[in-house]
Each structure stands twice: as structure tokens, then as C-alpha cells.
């Protein structure tokens, strides 16, 4: 690290869990972020600010006026731009030293697996079940930690599937592929800061993964923002899960 790095990350370096060695690990790390919406916004901003050396941003959508209520990485001037372009610009404005890759098209299974394998951690900030299931399978196959979050209405959830560990549950253990209704923010609504809460926690989990600190692996946190209460569920591998126990 140079003198500018020491000053930029000085408040983080004071933490014994980080220190210079940990900050160097962050600077050398590569993180794949899927989705530049309400969750991807705080994840990208905080990981950039914290000094994660390389971020790959994936989203094929463009910024719409309705996004700005909660997707705080974008601005009114960004309307019509690709979300990855807008997000990369905002992240670089915070930290011009990091490297940012952008992917503005949907990845097929082969390309997704290759992208996952090339990174140290993956953050699921998507808003649909097909993407979550595909990402779960790719991370399980590649043995990469997956930080998973979701938020809708006044509710949210977060966990980390650390596939570097043996016998951990996966997203498919938690949800059936054909058993969930596809509710979205555009159909049921969402309170703006709820995605910020979950996204900020995803960023925290990602940094802990990279630093080798304890994570939510094996635990699912459920947020009721209306009552501002949390519930915790223990996650165990489903013996009938086709991802964890393929036929």
C-alpha cells in the first residue's frame, strides 16, 4: 500500500480484524456483483469505498425514473443509461483506484460459471428466482462463497452460503424452484431504506468473507422492518436437494 492508501483506509486499518494485512487482502480481492438495483447499490458503493480491488458489475437493464426511489447509486442524470455504466461511474467517483469491470448482457450457464470461478466472492443482488437458482448452482459448482440477500415490501432476508465449507446448505435447500410466487417490487412495492439495510449487510458479509471472519453461513436472518424485528433460522442441508445431492 502507498501513503494515499494508508490515509484513505485509515479508519478501517485501526480495526484489529483488518489491519494492514487485511486491507492488502481486500485490495487484491475480486468480487462479482449480480444486479445493480436496490441491493446492488449499497453493496457496490461500500465495497468500492472499503477498497476491494476489483469489482465486476453485472446487469443488462437501464436506469428508469422508478428506480431512483431506492437504487441510490443512480441519479436523475443517469436515466436511460445502462445500470452498470451508472454504477461504475458512481463507484469510481468514491474510489478511483479500484478496477471495475461491467457486463451489460445476461450470462448463460457456461459464462456465469466462468465468471463465478474467476472471483473470490459473489454477491446476489438479483430480483428474480431463476437468476438466484442459476447463481446458487454456479457458486456451489465452483466452490465460491455466495452472499445472498432479498428485500420486498417492508421485509428482507440475508445469509451467506459459504461453499468453501463442506455440507453447507444452499439456496435450493431453502426454496423449491417451482414453489415460489414471483413477487417483485414493481408489483408489491418496497420501502426504500429496507433494500439499503439488507444491501449494507451484504457488503459487510462480503468483507468478512474476504477477511476470513465469521459470517452468516448456516444462518438466515429475516427482517420485519415494520416492527423492526429480526428472526434467525438455522439452515441445514436438505438431503433431497438436487444441487447438494445430485442424483
Kind of pairing between the strands at 99-103 and 229-234: unpaired
Say what angle helices 40-50 and 192-211 make with each other, to 10 degrees: 40
Domains and CATH numbers, the chain: 3-234 (3.40.50.720)
pLDDT of residue 245: 84
SS3 237: coil
Q: Encode pLDDT of 130-145 as tens digits.
A: 999 999 999 999 999 9
What is the Cα–Cα distance from 203 to 17, expressed in whole angstroms? Answer: 16
Which residues are CB-neighbours of 93 under 8 A, at least 6 positions away? none
**Predicted TM-score of the model (pTM):** 0.94
Give the residue-averaged pLDDT of 82-102. 97
Grid cell of 180 as nine digits:
415460489
Q: Encode pLDDT of 6-59 as tens digits.
A: 999 999 999 999 999 999 999 999 999 999 999 999 999 999 999 999 999 999
Cβ(171)–Cβ(165) under 8 Å? no
Amino acid at each position: 500500500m502507498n501513503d494515499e492508501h494508508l490515509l484513505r483506509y485509515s479508519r478501517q486499518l485501526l480495526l484489529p480484524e483488518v489491519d494492514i494485512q487485511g486491507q492488502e487482502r481486500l485490495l487484491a480481492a475480486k468480487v462479482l456483483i449480480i444486479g445493480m438495483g436496490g441491493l446492488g447499490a449499497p453493496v457496490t458503493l461500500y465495497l468500492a469505498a472499503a477498497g476491494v480491488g476489483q469489482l465486476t458489475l453485472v446487469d443488462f437493464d437501464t436506469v428508469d425514473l422508478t428506480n431512483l426511489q431506492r437504487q441510490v447509486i443512480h441519479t436523475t442524470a443517469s436515466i436511460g443509461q445502462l445500470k452498470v455504466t451508472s454504477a461504475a461511474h458512481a463507484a469510481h467517483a468514491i474510489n478511483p483506484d479500484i478496477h471495475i469491470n461491467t457486463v451489460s448482457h445476461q450470462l448463460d450457464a457456461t459464462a456465469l460459471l466462468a465468471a463465478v470461478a474467476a472471483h473470490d466472492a459473489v454477491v446476489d443482488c438479483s430480483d428474480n428466482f431463476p437468476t438466484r437458482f442459476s447463481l446458487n448452482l454456479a457458486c456451489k459448482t465452483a466452490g465460491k462463497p455466495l452472499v445472498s440477500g432479498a428485500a420486498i415490501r417492508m421485509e428482507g432476508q440475508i445469509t451467506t452460503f459459504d461453499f468453501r465449507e463442506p455440507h453447507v446448505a444452499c439456496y435450493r435447500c431453502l426454496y423449491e424452484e417451482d414453489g415460489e410466487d414471483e413477487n417483485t417490487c414493481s408489483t408489491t412495492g418496497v420501502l426504500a431504506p429496507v433494500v439499503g439495510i439488507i444491501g449494507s449487510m451484504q457488503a459487510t458479509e462480503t468483507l468478512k468473507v474476504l477477511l476470513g471472519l465469521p459470517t452468516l453461513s448456516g444462518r438466515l436472518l429475516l427482517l420485519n422492518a415494520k416492527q423492526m424485528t429480526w428472526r434467525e433460522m438455522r439452515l441445514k442441508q436438505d438431503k433431497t436437494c438436487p444441487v447438494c445431492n445430485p442424483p
